[in-house]
């Protein structure tokens, strides 16, 4: 039947109908002839009369008498069958042709299409639509498979966009904490000096400058949230800056992060006091993220070493905590990286991933490791030529 499955529906229906109708007509003709022959025999038999001779033997005699009631019913039945049986065989052949056509050409494709439609309706696209023949329904199955693949691809793209947006939201939520913490620290400091009337123009100007700087950073974050579709789309904007001024600004902002934590930050800076061409926002972002992570896990103190040499800016942040868990060291730096044993609902697990991405954007890299006591993270940034 394979040759029939690969023909079109019209051709298959014509072939099957013709074949079964031919058999039906043949049977109709045979039944008609048989009934006619039986009727002739009955009529001929009825013209002979059976009787016994003087010796008791049965003899038959031909006569042209009137046919009795019993013979009349037999003839009527044969007449009915002579015309009813041909009609029955023709109708039966057409019914069998329809059943055969359905079973060969329609049953399996319709079952496949119905099952596929139900699975697609229930958002299940992890399957394939089988092409069971080369006819119109086979082409329809192929069209269903193409539609399923397109839907699956669109769903995967949509899911990827949702995951990327989730990463973006988590990253921005994570990074906004640092500027907000610095702004709150500056505001609290100014408030305390206002209460005690201990104003120092230099310190006030420094605090206001820091507030203005971090306000701009928040504005940039908000703008990036509305325009960026991926974390990798964050802008890279290097500028010339003085090394000593930059390191002092960085140290001042880190001290605000340690407020109200009961932990100490030890900051050290090394490098020539000259102009360097770097993206200050990226380096500040990475440093603050690393220090925030260290403050979360350290016991007493976080050490920050900020150095500039051989065309590189290197930041080493170490703590005296328990170090990175084997799970984190095994998984490496990835989005939503958290220790499975720790229950930190307010921790997104994006800090190290953001730092790694920003280091790469600045031509560097990020390395994590455990020390004898605590953990150490090293961030490297390549300095560009202005």
> Residues 89-121: pLDDT tens digits?
999 999 999 999 998 888 888 888 888 888 888
Lowest-confidence region among 196-205, 259-268, 301-310: 196-205
Q: What whole-number distance in Å separates Cα of residue 279 and Cα of residue 359?
A: 11
For 35-58, what is the mean pLDDT? Answer: 64
For 133-161, what is the mean pLDDT? Answer: 85
Provide the percentage of residues in the chain whose pLDDT is more than 70.
76
Residue 29 has pLDDT above 90, yes or no: yes
Between residues 90 and 180, the one the model is more confident about: 90
What mean pLDDT value characterizes the chain?
79
User: How open is the CA angle 218-220-222, to the nearest 5 degrees?
Assistant: 70
CA atoms lying within 13 Å on the CB side of residue 14: 5
Q: What whole-number distance in Å separates Cα of residue 126 and Cα of residue 107?
A: 23
pLDDT score of 66: 47
pLDDT score of 65: 47
- Residue 46: CB partners within 8 Å, gap ≥ 6? 67, 71
Q: Of 21, 139, 191, whose CA–CA distance to 90 is shortest?
A: 21
Residue 184 has pLDDT above 80, yes or no: no
Ramachandran class of 363: left when φ > 0, alpha when ψ lies in -120 to 50, beta otherwise? left
Q: What whole-number distance in Å separates Cα of residue 327 and Cα of residue 339?
A: 7
Provide the percentage of residues in the chain whose pLDDT is more than 90.
17
Residue 246 has pLDDT above 50, yes or no: yes
79: pLDDT confidence band, cut at 50, 70 and 90? confident
For 152-180, what is the mean pLDDT? Answer: 73
For 80-96, what is the mean pLDDT? Answer: 91
For 276-285, what is the mean pLDDT? Answer: 88
Between residues 49 and 304, the one the model is more confident about: 304
pLDDT score of 104: 87
Question: Kind of pairing, strands 264-270 and 301-309?
Answer: parallel
67: pLDDT confidence band, cut at 50, 70 and 90? very low
Between residues 76 and 204, the one the model is more confident about: 76
pLDDT in tens, 293-346: 888 888 889 999 999 888 899 999 999 988 888 878 887 777 656 555 454 444
Lowest-confidence region among 48-52, 121-125, 178-182, 246-250: 48-52
């Amino acid at each position: 039947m394979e040759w029939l499955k690969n023909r079109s529906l019209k051709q298959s229906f014509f072939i099957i109908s013709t074949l079964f109708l031919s058999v039906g007509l043949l049977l109709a003709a045979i039944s008609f002839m048989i009934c006619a022959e039986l009727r002739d025999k009955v009529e001929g038999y009825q013209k002979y009369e059976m009787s016994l001779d003087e010796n008791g033997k049965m003899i038959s005699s031909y006569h042209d008498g009137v046919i009795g009631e019993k013979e009349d019913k037999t003839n009527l039945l044969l007449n009915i069958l002579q015309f009813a049986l041909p009609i029955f065989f023709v109708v039966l052949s057409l019914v069998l042709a329809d059943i055969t056509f359905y079973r060969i050409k329609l049953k399996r494709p319709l079952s496949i299409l119905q099952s596929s439609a139900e699975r697609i309706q229930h958002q299940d696209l992890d399957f394939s639509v089988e092409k069971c023949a080369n006819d119109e329904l086979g082409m329809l199955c192929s069209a269903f498979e193409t539609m399923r693949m397109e839907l699956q691809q669109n769903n995967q793209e949509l899911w990827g966009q949702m995951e990327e947006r989730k990463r973006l939201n988590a990253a921005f939520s994570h990074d906004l904490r640092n500027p907000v913490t610095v702004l709150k620290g500056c505001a609290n400091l100014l408030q305390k000096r206002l209460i005690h009337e201990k104003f120092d123009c230099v310190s006030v100007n420094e605090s206001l400058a820091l507030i203005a700087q971090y306000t701009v950073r928040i504005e940039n974050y908000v703008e990036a949230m509305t325009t960026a579709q991926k974390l990798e789309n964050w802008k890279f904007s290097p500028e010339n800056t003085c090394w000593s001024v930059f390191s002092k600004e960085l140290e001042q902002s880190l001290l605000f992060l340690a407020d109200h934590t009961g932990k100490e930050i030890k900051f050290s800076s090394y490098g020539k006091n000259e102009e360097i061409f770097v993206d200050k926002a990226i380096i500040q972002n990475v440093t603050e993220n690393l220090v925030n992570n260290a403050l979360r896990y350290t016991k007493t103190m976080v050490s920050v070493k900020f150095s500039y040499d051989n065309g590189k800016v290197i930041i080493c942040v170490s703590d005296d905590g328990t170090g990175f868990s084997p799970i984190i060291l095994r998984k490496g730096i990835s989005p939503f990286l958290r220790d499975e044993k720790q229950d930190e609902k307010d921790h997104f697990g994006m800090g190290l991933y953001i730092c790694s991405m920003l280091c790469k954007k600045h031509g560097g890299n990020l390395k994590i490791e455990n020390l004898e006591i605590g953990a150490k993270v090293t961030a490297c940034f390549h300095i560009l030529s202005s």
